[in-house]
Chain A
Amino acid sequence: MSVTHRILVPFELPDADEVPPVLVDTLATMEVVLLGHYGLPEQTPPSVARDQFEDDAQTELDGIARRFEEAGVSVTTRLVFGKAREKTINRVALEEDCDVILTPGDADAIAEVLVPLRGEANFDRILSFVGELLTATGASVTLFHTGEESDRLPGEEILADATDRLVEAGVEPDRISRQLSTDDDVERSIVDLGNTFDLLVLGETEPSLRDRIFGSRPAQVTAGTDDPAFVVRNVEQL
């Protein structure tokens, strides 16, 4: 697989939450962009806060970067002072060509990875990323199809196809399991399942009208779980 992945890891500065060391290790073979977002209330012009807090924030961000570099990860850092956190994350992901965004969470060990799949969007990129992740960790993976009618292919076929891709990428077949769901409430079942896994890999969905009102599916799922989640962006669509 020739696709290289760049992972955006956002931090809320100051006093950022620590990323679990086991999670850092999973990124060893990839390029990482560490985004320090210094959140400000609307009362404070970003330029003023930058003048005053830039040195401290950069020191903190460099400290975080050092932990990644020690694990062998290639790191770029970006420091942004501002108000709109989500907007900043998306903008920096675009500018830095990151195709995956990490939503940090708690993890003691990465042994079980859950990958909910849909048929169409983003299929290749998600599996390429999962393949790389699995070669770095030795964890096992559960491919999960959410049984949506909108898919062109039946769920079994999608999961079989996905398994083939991972095997091609060098993942032993006995580390891959499949699960087909007929449940309608996709977010709920992913969140429930997520509790028995350590890590989630999700594809970014195209925002529907519903998403614009209630928030995108990855946002809902990641809000419902404490597990770290990688959200694979829909780069081809952009």
Chain B
Amino acid sequence: MKNDLERDLGLYATVTISMGAMIGSGIFVLPALGLNKAGPAVILAYILAGLVVLPAALSKAEMATAMPESGGTYLYIDRAMGPLAGTVAGIGAWFSLVFKSSFALVGLGAYLLLLVPLSSGLVKAVALGLAALIVVLNVVGTEQSGKAQSIIVTAVVVALAAYVLNSGVAIEPARFQGFAEKGTGGVVTAAAFVFVSYAGVTKIASVAEEIEDPDRNLPLGILISMGVMMVLYTLVVAAVVGLNDPAALSTSGPGDGPSLTPMADGAGQLLGGFGVVVIAVVAILALTSMANAGVLASSRFPLAMSRDSLAPGRLARVSERFKTPLNAILLTGGLLLLLIAFVDVVDLAKLASAFQILVFSIVNVALIVFRTSDVDSYQPSFHSPGYPFVQIAGVVGGFGLLTQMGTLPILGAAGIIVGGVTWYLAYGRSRTNRDGALGTILARRREEEPVTSD
């Protein structure tokens, strides 16, 4: 059956897709939360986080060129290390994306309230309404709109550039004093916190099959989009820090928490009410797009696991009426609403990052497993440079960040592992008998042992 995808995404399109997936809560909502942890040095945190994400992005890109099926992170880890690790990674990736989407929606609600005269105590109610709307949109089904995506990305980048340029005149250098006050620990904690800002880069992997000249454009697309975002994050965060009174940034949010709309606070300092409206509109566009893409992408995890017999078959059913995977979307949407309603905003962001760090670490391990096993079916067209040092650095860096996040995120990550293992033992184990590339390595070891023991 000839149904290969056409390779028609050039380097520019690749970079835009990746940036479109990254721009969102990382820049519009997180800076004030990061500032709380690291002080003005939050700027360094964004760079550190980017460096730790990079190995996973490269690993995922390599595996994407070897496995054309859509399924992403879950699929690669399952095929590398078998269904047990697959279950843990699938649930972890699913949770991470849903947490990230709910955080984006709360931020979206906060920006929306800047435009309408309602009490800021209504943020969660507004976010719940928006979440329900996005779930309905995904159930009914949406057309692919690459054009809309690149227009939003361009608009956001232009707005951010203007913001940074204008802020040059209004920044108060005094606000950068105490840059190193909170020390290295603070920067690492903040880096772990804003880690999720770069998670979107792996979107490149999910369109890897459509990229022309992937050996060149895949790694370049990853490096360029991450490079641009690192610069953009750094400049924007520097502008936010320079424009705002730090005390106001860290207490003006709901319940006297950190501000959820730091960009607009900065714009107010700069251009008054008009600036706030412009930034709010841009933020709403970007965050809506992010939340929508998040629900769409996260519903793929239960779907893919169900097709591999790791979750009930019903989750892979496509609705006759809407032509969408209704059950997978409803399950994802249900979790989304629960998280927004019952989890504290700051914890949403923390847990999203923690789960993401966990999954990205496993992604790096998965690549090492594939390369070591040398299975015939693994024939990537792009090879991650710097193997295996880059991957090892990614794993070590990931766990390093994870340990700096405090009790809740570590418990959360441990909870995902325990929960994943339990679910696998209770449901998946009796229904699957594959063992992934890791099984090949172990089997080979067992064969070699009698020979070497002589």
Contact = CB atoms under 8 A, between A and B. Distances in A.
Interface string A58-72: 000000000000000
Given A47-B70, A49-B318, A91-B6, A42 B142 contact: yes
B144 interface: yes
A49 B144 CA distance: 16
A40 B323 contact: yes
A43 B142 contact: yes
A45 B143 contact: no
B3 interface: yes
A95 interface: yes
Contacts of B143: 41-42, 83
A87 B6 contact: yes
A80 B3 contact: yes
B3 A43 contact: no
Nearest to A84: B144
A150 interface: no
Interface stretch (B271-279, B299-307, B344-352, B356-364): B299-307
B2 A43 contact: no
B324 interface: yes
A194 B186 CA distance: 72
A235 B146 CA distance: 28
A41 B70 contact: no
Interface string B315-333: 0111000111100010000
Interface residues of A, number: 21
A43 B70 contact: no
A40 B6 CA distance: 17
B141 interface: yes
Nearest to A40: B323
B316 A43 contact: no
Interface string B1-38: 01100100000000000000000000000000000000
Nearest to A38: B323
Contact of A42 (B3, B296, B303): B296
B307 A41 contact: no
Interface string B115-139: 0000000000000000000000010
Question: Which of A40, A43, A47 gathers most chain B CB within 10 Å?
Answer: A43
Question: Which of B296, B322, B323 gathers most chain A CB within 10 Å?
Answer: B323
A43 B69 contact: no
A46 B140 CA distance: 16
A43 B307 contact: no
B144 A42 contact: yes
Contacts of B70: 45, 47
A147 to B, nearest CB: 34
Contact of A43 (B6, B299, B317): B299
B163 to A, nearest CB: 30
B141 A43 contact: yes
A73 B324 CA distance: 36
B6 A49 contact: no
B303 A48 contact: yes
A52 interface: yes
Contacts of A44: 141, 318, 323-325
Given A43-B296, A87-B6, 17 more contacts: A40-B323, A41-B140, A41-B143, A41-B323, A42-B141, A42-B296, A43-B142, A43-B325, A44-B318, A44-B324, A45-B303, A48-B307, A48-B316, A52-B318, A53-B318, A80-B3, A95-B2
Interface of B: 2-3, 6, 69-70, 138, 140-144, 296, 299-300, 303, 307, 316-318, 322-325, 329
